[in-house]
Amino acid sequence: MPAVPLVSVITATYNMGRYVQEAVDSVLAQKYPRVQSIVVDDGSTDDTPEVLARYRDDSRVTVIRQENAGQTAAKNSGLAAAAGEYIGFCDADNAWLPGKLARQLEMFRAHPRLGVVYGDIELMDENGIPLPAPATKRYSGRITGRLLVDNFVTFNTALVPRAVIVEAGGFDESLSMAIDYDLWLRISVNYEFMHIAAPLVRYRIWGGQMSHRTGERLDNYLRLLQRFLSCHPESVTAGEVRRAWAHTYVTRGLWHAAENRKGAAWRDYGRALVRWPHDLRLWKSAARLLLGR
């Protein structure tokens, strides 16, 4: 492996003029000598073009402007322009922490057959003020079964060899959300993951982020799980499949309950019960719904 491989970092942005400079600057500030920052402006109508104009003389930054096509197509446009041996991602409303790349590339040097190296996150609000981050159990090694139950690989923390992403086929443009989860599952069939137990990214929680589109995200989850299991039935155990479906139905039931759709919530809890009655979240969620909480 070359001593200093090029790392391409993709930032897809739509109307994020408020935050995109912080994201790009956090990538360029890495104490690593070979970084290509690719910013895909997916048809922004705010001041994003003016903010990005300040990088026109920086040879490390490539700005791609396209008509609005959605985040999946924007990220694939970034992949097509990437020249690096490794690919990272920094969404426009997030920021990398110092030393991220150096720590991850050390792992790849020690374990060249890894497919993904990822880490933990620090949370912040819309103004950059730190927020408490819930403890999340993350795993290393062959993680397909655990990953099928729940996506614990935070997208913006991941660094991936470009060849691995190409082999997996990039992002699936039939999905509008959960595209990272879909990609991780496909990669996990053939490669090991490595978790660094330290924050690598500052992740912003605010009203404008896509993760608030819960219904759409859950619909995408159900579609990608079904397709993955159809394509890779031997990659996970029957118990892992049952737990995965139960977890997803409980999550959707919680969303229905929060939106006061009690009948839909009970139906999803029933689907979860049939698949994995040992799911503790199921019983806690059902109890809260029964008590009207």
pLDDT of residue 236: 97
Between CA 47 and CA 52 the distance in angstroms is 9
Between CA 14 and CA 226 the distance in angstroms is 30
For residue 213, give the DSSP letter. Answer: -
Residues in contact with 285: Cβ distance below 8 Å, sequence separation at least 6, in sequence order: 250, 253, 254, 257, 269
Tokens of 138: 């993350």
Between CA 247 and CA 284 the distance in angstroms is 13
Tokens of 81: 């322009």
pLDDT digits (tens, 9 = 90+) for 25-83: 999 999 999 999 999 999 999 999 999 999 999 999 999 999 999 999 999 999 999 99
% of the chain exceeding 90 in pLDDT: 92
Residues in contact with 260: Cβ distance below 8 Å, sequence separation at least 6, in sequence order: none
Partners of 16 in beta bridges: none
Average pLDDT over residues 241-257: 96
* Nearest by Cα to 186 from 220, 216, 229, 223: 229
pLDDT of residue 17: 97
pLDDT of residue 206: 85
Average pLDDT over residues 183-203: 98
pLDDT of residue 211: 54
pTM of the model as a whole: 0.93
Residues in contact with 255: Cβ distance below 8 Å, sequence separation at least 6, in sequence order: 214, 215, 218
pLDDT of residue 215: 87
Mean pLDDT of the chain: 95
Q: What kind of fold does domain 7-212 have according to CATH?
A: Spore Coat Polysaccharide Biosynthesis Protein SpsA; Chain A (3.90.550)
- Confidence label for 108 from pLDDT (cuts 50, 70 and 90): very high
Residues in contact with 163: Cβ distance below 8 Å, sequence separation at least 6, in sequence order: none
Tell me the longest C-alpha to C-alpha distance in the chain. 61
- Confidence label for 133 from pLDDT (cuts 50, 70 and 90): confident
Average pLDDT over residues 243-252: 96
pLDDT of residue 260: 95
Average pLDDT over residues 164-189: 96
Strand residues in 107-158 grouped as ranges (E): 114-124, 130-131
Could you state, in order of their start, the residue ranges of all structural domains in the chain?
7-212, 237-290
Between CA 67 and CA 44 the distance in angstroms is 8
pLDDT of residue 293: 72
pLDDT of residue 2: 52
Partners of 192 in beta bridges: 114
Which residue has 């990608």 as its token pair? Answer: 224
- Confidence label for 1 from pLDDT (cuts 50, 70 and 90): very low
- Confidence label for 221 from pLDDT (cuts 50, 70 and 90): very high
Mean pLDDT lowest among 110-114, 164-168, 205-209, 283-287: 205-209
User: Contact 116/153 with Cβ under 8 angstroms?
Assistant: yes
170: left (phi over 0), alpha (psi -120 to 50) or beta: left
